[in-house]
C-alpha cells in the first residue's frame, strides 16, 4: 500500500487543519497516512514513505517557524531520490513574502532529489471551501504521481 507521510508546523491551528484535509483526502484515495507535528519526527522518516508532504506556515516577514527550523536544516542532509513530494501551507497576504516557507521547502526537496508530484497550495490564513478543494486536488495529483 502507498504510504504518505505528512509533517506539519502550526501555531494557530490553520496549518494543522490543512494537514488534516490533505490526510483525509489521501485516506479517501486508499493511501495509508502518517501525520506528525514537526518536532515529533526526523526527516529520515520520509525515507519509508512514497509521498512526502510538508505543511508549514510562514512567520512574520517570510521566516520559517522556529519549531520547524531543525527539521528544515536536517532535511537538507538526506537523499530523497525516487520519492514524490508536495508542499502546502498557510500565510497572511498582509505580508510581502506570502507563504515563503512553502517555497523554501520546495527548494530543499528539489535539492535532495525528490520529485515534485503536485503544485504547492498556499492558503491565506484558514482554509475556506476553495482552499479545501485545492488541497483535495493536491492530494489526488500526488497520489497519481506515484501510481
3-state SS, 31-96, equals CEEEEEEHHHCCHHHHHHCCEEEEEEECECCCECCHHHHHHHHHHCCCCCCCCEEEEEEEECCCCC
Ranges under pLDDT 50 in the chain: none
| Residue 101: predicted pLDDT | 98
For the chain, domain boundaries: 3-146
Beta bridge partners of 7: 36, 54
| Residue 147 confidence (pLDDT) | 82
Q: CA-to-CA distance for 146 and 53, rounded, in angstroms?
A: 13
**pTM given for the model:** 0.97
Q: Please name the CATH architecture into which domain 3-146 falls.
A: 3-Layer(aba) Sandwich (3.40)
Q: Exposure pattern of 15-40 as b/e (b: 16+ CB <10 Å)?
A: bbbbbbbbbbbbeebebebebeebee
Q: Between vectors from CA 7 to CA 126 and to CA 86, what angle results, nearest 5°?
A: 80
- Residue 77 is predicted with a pLDDT of 97
User: 129-145 vs 14-28: helix axis angle to the nearest 10?
Assistant: 50
Whole-angstrom CA distances from 8 to 23, 53, 72, 147 are 11, 8, 11, 24
Residue 140 host element (H or E) = helix 129-145
Amino acid at each position: 500500500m502507498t504510504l504518505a507521510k505528512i509533517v506539519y508546523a502550526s501555531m494557530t491551528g490553520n496549518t494543522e487543519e490543512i494537514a488534516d484535509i490533505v490526510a483525509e483526502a489521501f485516506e479517501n484515495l486508499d493511501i495509508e497516512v502518517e501525520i506528525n507535528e514537526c518536532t515529533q519526527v526526523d526527516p529520515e522518516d520520509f525515507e519509508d514513505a512514497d509521498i512526502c508532504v510538508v505543511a508549514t506556515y510562514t512567520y512574520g516577514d517570510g521566516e520559517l517557524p522556529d519549531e520547524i527550523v531543525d527539521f528544515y536544516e536536517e532535511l537538507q542532509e538526506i537523499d530523497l531520490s525516487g520519492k514524490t513530494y508536495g508542499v502546502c501551507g498557510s500565510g497572511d497576504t498582509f505580508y510581502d513574502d506570502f507563504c515563503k516557507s512553502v517555497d523554501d521547502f520546495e527548494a530543499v526537496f528539489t535539492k535532495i532529489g525528490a520529485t515534485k508530484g503536485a503544485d504547492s497550495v498556499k492558503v491565506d490564513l484558514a482554509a475556506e471551501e476553495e482552499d479545501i478543494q485545492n488541497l483535495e486536488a493536491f492530494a489526488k495529483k500526488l497520489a497519481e504521481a506515484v501510481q
